[in-house]
Amino acid sequence: MENGECIPSRAVPVRPLSNDRSHLADRAGLLTLLIAVSAAVGWLRTTNLHNATLLRLNEERLKLALQGANEGLWDWDLGSDRLYFSKRWKNMLGYNEEQLSDSALEWIDRLHPEDRQRALDDLDDHLQYGDEGYVSRYRLKHRNGHYLWVESRGHALRDRQGHPFRVVGTMADISDQVRVEEKLRQAATVFESTTEAIVILDRAGRIAEVNKAFERMTGYTRNEVVGRTRTLLSDVEGDQAFFADIDRRLQSRGTWRGEMKARRKNGETFPTWLNIATVRDQEGRFKHFVVVLTDISTLKSSEAKLKALAHYDSLTGLPNRLLLNLTLEKRYSARNVIDSAWPYSSWTWTVSNSSTTPSATPPATSC
């Protein structure tokens, strides 16, 4: 109101209400997107953390497994021709981590000359054709100059076309194992090539293994005797007591030697010389018996022939003077044993017409 007059108020423009709410939808969509992105980022962070944790755990498990197996790790990148060796791999050859480079030549140059081509061929065959794992045995030169037997195992990683681009594997020192295998091969050669029969018995006295000489000596095949008891070959009367005595000797001494009458498959008996020994494990527990049988039939026959030649005339077959002397010596020795046990053995006897009476009294004894 001005000077008593009413002046209309100035109108303030007002935006009319509208039914268009697209801006609200846009904001809601943006908010939803922000929430989704935040959730995705959080999920990725959680997933990455989880994956990193799993990766670290797997690496720790692999490290512990390799340490427990005492094996070294190698990783060959075929594209760059760089070959990674783990600390344990280098330690096996007497080196520390800084003394060997990540070059394939470090491995190739240390291969034994007799094994180099075979080791390279084994790896090449795996890279070209091997769907199964790679396994190879060869010798590597130690820093001190000697060679170690090692076993490498690995697997090639391939692209979609099947071309290998990486090979990862482990290496173990098997020198002790190779030495044991060599001794076993030598023992197996002796076992099969010896002319003496060898029988392996288990703890219950059952036949576990025999060699070729046993088959030739007895006429039995391996399949016919494995699992059967040791009495199969014995021709000893009351053999249970005989073997019980052997068992007692083996328990107290660990070995037994002696003669035994054996029986072939056809029923024929023949004399043998037995050597029996017990085999025990590292803790002293009994595992097996090893029985070596020697056929002494020829020896016994030769002894009989020599005895006949020595004691009988070759023309007449009658006893000779040597046999007579031996017989007299035996009887004289037996008489001396009786005389020493009988107090009146020094009496002499004469034969009269009427009867046989002592011709002397017992010798006087001094007080």
* Strongest mean pLDDT among 13-17, 297-301, 349-353: 297-301
Contacts of 71 (CB under 8 A, 6+ apart): 88, 170, 171, 172
What topology does CATH give the domain 64-176? Beta-Lactamase (3.30.450)
**pLDDT single digits (tens) 167-191:** 888 899 999 999 999 998 998 888 8
Model confidence band, residue 232 (pLDDT cutoffs 50, 70, 90): confident
Cα separation of 256 and 250, whole Å? 6
**pLDDT single digits (tens) 53-79:** 555 555 555 555 555 557 888 899 988
Model confidence band, residue 195 (pLDDT cutoffs 50, 70, 90): confident
In the chain, domain spans = 64-176, 200-295, 302-329
Q: Do domains 64-176 and 200-295 have the same CATH topology?
A: yes
What topology does CATH give the domain 200-295? Beta-Lactamase (3.30.450)
Is 200 in contact with 209 (CB distance < 8 Å)? Answer: yes
φ/ψ of residue 13, rounded to 5? -65, 135
Rg (CA), the chain: 49
**pLDDT single digits (tens) 98-144:** 888 888 888 999 999 999 999 999 999 999 887 778 899 999 999 99
Cα separation of 80 and 329, whole Å? 98
pTM: 0.57
Could you give the percent of the chain with pLDDT greater than 90?
A: 23
Is residue 355 over pLDDT 50? no
